[in-house]
Amino acid sequence: MKLAKPRVFVTRPIPGPGITMLKKKGYRVEIQPKEINISKTALIKAVKQYDAIITLLTNRIDKDVMNSATPQLKVISNYAVGYDNIDIETAKKKSIIIANTPCKEVSEAVAEHTFALILALSRRIVEADAFMRANKYHGWDANLMIGRSLNTLTLGVIGLGNIGKMVVHMAVKGMGMNVLYTDRKRDMTFEKEYGARFCTQEKLLKTANVISLHVPLCPSTRHLINKKTLRLMKHDALLINTARGPVVDETAILHALYAKKLGGYALDVLECEPHIDCNPNDRYEFKELKNVVMTPHIASASATARDAMSTIAAESIIAVFQGKTPIHKVV
């Protein structure tokens, strides 16, 4: 008897060649057509019916969803580098393979976006653009929109993974910045190549002029930047977050910005995403501050990165049904 081809469910339309790759293998691919986040009820239904699922980081595959999965479900391929949206421990218990999509292309895209935010904040690009659009420019002024030259500043990188390393490369080789970093382990070879200095997180926060976050979201990194750690930072320091929103306590950051105890904040991720404000009833708003630059979680949104992610997501599923281990297997 001829075995039926695997059924693959995609929680939301994704760009890139991945879907075509699966269809060429004869897999039966079904995609939720709506450009909205799929409901928990629909996810529970999906894990009961399909052999493989491609999820996005906005899909909460929690314990309830994972426990609803039948033995038919063999693999969840997460179209993201992070996988804090998935209950990994329950996946292990149910022998469901979890894969993600880290790759050089994504690291490069996020690093580029991080540096774009650093430049936008340090040279007041967004503020200047709004100034021009409001027809406030009436001629050259030596005191207008004075920013800071990056080659006079020290960059502090918290988390020296692939993205953190690329940010340091751009900072040192492109802008001549001094670099401090902190990570779970020291990288002497990297230090030698880039002149970066390993230090404690406390020293980094006290010393750096620009602080860029590149850590995964886990219990130890949740609210890594908080009321206490913000007090350690220079009052004119610039903070950049392209990691995960809950790595920072946004309420504490807002209070610091309004009190002028933080020089600026640039973010691509939000603590209460997609809501810009965790507490809409208070008087503090990122949108009201000129020294805040916001982008809508697009750090990895280059065509090259999206194609690579799509390819890897499909390859992981194909590998499982060929009896192989996905290259980017999480568990």
Report the pLDDT value the prediction gives residue 3, as an integer from 0 to 100.
Answer: 65
Residue 113 shares a structural domain with residue 77: no
Residue 219, domain member (yes or no) = yes
Report the pLDDT value the prediction gives residue 34, as an integer from 0 to 100.
Answer: 75
Report the pLDDT value the prediction gives residue 1, as an integer from 0 to 100.
Answer: 46
DSSP 8-class letter at 318: H
**3-state DSSP call for residue 79?**
coil
Residue 136 shares a structural domain with residue 273: yes
Q: Cα(213)–Cα(224) distance, rounded to whole angstroms? A: 9
**3-state DSSP call for residue 271?**
coil
Residue 209 shares a structural domain with residue 228: yes
Residue 109, domain member (yes or no) = yes
Q: Cα(305)–Cα(107) distance, rounded to whole angstroms? A: 8
Is cis: bond before 274, omega within 30 of 0?
yes
Q: Cα(124)–Cα(135) distance, rounded to whole angstroms? A: 17
Phi and psi at residue 101, to the nearest 5°: -130, 50
Q: Cα(259)–Cα(326) distance, rounded to whole angstroms? A: 49
Residue 147 shares a structural domain with residue 221: yes
Which residues in the chain come in under a pLDDT of 70? 1-3, 35
Q: What is the domain extent for residue 289? A: 105-294
For the stretch 310-327, pLDDT in tens is 999 999 999 999 999 999
Residue 127 shares a structural domain with residue 265: yes
Residue 56 shares a structural domain with residue 120: no
For the stretch 49-70, pLDDT in tens is 999 999 999 999 999 999 999 9
For CA atoms 204, 207, 208, 211, the dihedral sign is positive
Report the pLDDT value the prediction gives residue 36, as an integer from 0 to 100.
Answer: 77
| Residue 283 a catalytic site member | no
Q: By the 8 A CB rule, do 208 and 240 touch?
A: no
Check 12, 244, 306, 328 and give the catalytic one: 244
Residue 209, domain member (yes or no) = yes
Check 112, 191, 193, 273 and give the catalytic one: 273
Cβ count near 297 (within 10 Å): 17
| Residue 244 a catalytic site member | yes
71 token code pair: 């033995």
Check 7, 197, 222, 297 and give the catalytic one: 297
| Residue 255 a catalytic site member | no
